[in-house]
Amino acid sequence: MTERIVVIGADAAGMSAASQAKRIAGDTVEIVAFERGAHTSYSACGIPYWVAGDVDELERLIARSPDAHRRNGIDLRMRTEVEEIDLAAGRVAAHDLAAGRSYREGFDSLVIATGAVPVRPPLPGVDAAGVFGVQTLDDGAALLADLDRVQPRRAVIVGGGYIGVEMAEALVRHGVAVTVVDQAAQPMATLDPDMGAAVHRAMEHIGIDVHTDTTVIGFETGSDRRIRAVLTAGGSIPADVVVLGLGVRPNTVLAHDAGLPLGDHGGLRTNVQMQVLGQDHVWAGGDCVEVLNLVSGQYQHVPLGTHANKQGRVIGHNLAGSYATFPGVVGTAVSKVCHLEIARTGLRERDAKRAGFAYVTVTVQSGTKAGYFPGTQQMTVKMIAERGTGRLLGVQIVGNEGSAKRIDTAATALWNRMTVEEMTALDLGYAPPFSPVWDPILVAARQAATAVRQR
Ligand SMILES: Cc1cc2nc3c(=O)[nH]c(=O)nc-3n(C[C@H](O)[C@H](O)[C@H](O)COP(=O)(O)OP(=O)(O)OC[C@H]3O[C@@H](n4cnc5c(N)ncnc54)[C@H](O)[C@@H]3O)c2cc1C
């Protein structure tokens, strides 16, 4: 008998699940996918680079169009919003936004891949013309059209997280004077403040004005209702355009209304097969779920495309009767602002404290290539290890070109619960154009191992 699968949300997690299930199970599954937006399988991750001009057109950010999915046998219903899930009856209520028509669709299995909603503070003036989010391709297109039409001179980015700093670069590349405002003590709060301070200094060096410890209290508009300034507790910052980068929260209202329980961070909780806890026929993945941090043992909301794609693939395998798991994350992320690369994995100091670890930290400066090799760049590596056992707990990197992806060595070590002593023996590649003879990760591991022995 054909199994009928309904997927809600047709981007990274949803369409990875649908495509994988179809690939393995073929005609034994019938898949109906609902997407309320106008695009499928798109890269929101590419929006800052599209706005910056590195990517020339929207189509290049779309991995697979609706028609391509339909050719693969998926019944994809675009511009159609799922408004209700009835778990007992095994059906969803959908609303075709173009036709204005509502109908019901039954399922044997349900995949919830509804993503996240951007935080948009309910402050006066937040809906003014010239204030943009960058969550969807349509948001990116609206911002680009505005930049083209208004030719702004001054931009304010609200939020100094990775989307904020990437958008700061995008606007710098448009020749706009950029100010980043963040209420934290340093930008990039996913790093420890000492490493965030290095990002702060580098951004100012690039010419970006960074206001930290600054809370936005509203947005001042002109008589044309267009943004004029961002109002903060410390004064007003003139702005011709504003980009909000305040993070996201799981989009789980639909799931919650259906009676599915949520975790502490508002996301759905699943088992390692991505099956919603307590539900045999409901699966969830991507930005709407919480994930287990394998280092701290605690649940987190980590809204990243890398996880959404993997989780979708796992769901697809399991739906098709195969077996796959997503055990959790170690918290790896990379980003950049102009020439400055930023990377992190594992726990920050505050996470280590919260998880009850006693720890040592070391911070080393190194080059990205042999010291004599042309083009070698500076990078800083901070490493955190458990006091006593020497288990690696986290690594942060800030540096110029060639720095960030070194985090993957640390992420692999974390995944395998290595000690910093064990890491000192890692057989990493060396040749002068790629690395000093002691790779910066090995230098940090060596110093961390010494610190563990001494304390
Ligand atoms: C500017 C930006 C830069 C980013 N950069 C990176 C990066 O460099 N690296 C990285 O790993 N991640 C990055 N991300 C995060 C990444 O894009 C997301 O984690 C990923 O898109 C999540 O995929 P998803 O399928 O869970 O959710 P989404 O991509 O949000 O897709 C969910 C879909 O569900 C649809 N939907 C929601 N509710 C309904 C409903 N009721 N009915 C029908 N459809 C519905 C939505 O319209 C949406 O298309 C970035 C995100 C942004 C915004």
Query: SS3 sequence, 165-200?
Result: HHHHHHHHCCCCEEEEECCCCCCCCCCCHHHHHHHH
Verify whether ligand 1 is closer than 6 Å to residue 164 (CB atom): no
333-337 vs 154-158, strand pairing mode:
unpaired
DSSP 8-state secondary structure symbol assigned to residue 68: H
Residue 2 banded pLDDT, cuts 50, 70, 90: confident
Residues above pLDDT 70, as percent of the chain: 100
Rounded Cα–Cα distance for residues 108 and 106 (Å): 7
Q: For residues 116-142, give the mean pLDDT.
A: 96
Contacts of residue 346, Cβ cutoff 8 Å, sequence gap at least 6: 295, 330, 331, 384, 392, 393, 394, 395, 410, 411, 414
**pLDDT above 80: residue 455:** no
Q: Look at residue 148 in the predicted model and tell me its pLDDT.
A: 96
Residues above pLDDT 90, as percent of the chain: 99
Question: Is 45 part of the annotated catalytic residue set?
Answer: yes
Q: For residues 153-167, give the mean pLDDT.
A: 97
Ligand 1 atom at minimal distance to the Cα of residue 12: 25
Return the beta strands (E) in 184-272 as ranges: 209-211, 216-221, 227-232, 235-238, 241-244, 248-250
Q: Look at residue 397 in the predicted model and tell me its pLDDT.
A: 98
DSSP 3-state of 393: strand
Residue 374 · residue 433 · CB < 8 Å: no
Rounded Cα–Cα distance for residues 439 and 424 (Å): 10
For ligand 1, pick from 287, 314, 341, 342 the residue to mutate: most ligand atoms within 8 Å of CB: 287
Q: Look at residue 70 in the predicted model and tell me its pLDDT.
A: 98
Q: Look at residue 141 in the predicted model and tell me its pLDDT.
A: 97
pTM of the model: 0.97
Ligand 1 atom 45 nearest Cα: 9
Residue 407 · residue 344 · CB < 8 Å: yes
Q: Cα 50 to chain center, whole Å?
A: 17
Residue 199 banded pLDDT, cuts 50, 70, 90: very high
233-237, 239-243, 267-271: least confidently modelled range: 233-237
Encoded amino acid at 349, one letter: E
Q: For residues 70-92, give the mean pLDDT.
A: 98
Quote the crossing angle between the two packed helices 162-172 and 193-206, to the nearest 10°.
10
Ligand 1 atom 8 nearest Cα: 45
Residue 1 banded pLDDT, cuts 50, 70, 90: confident
Sheet holding 177-181, edge to edge: 131-132, 241-244, 154-158, 177-181, 209-211
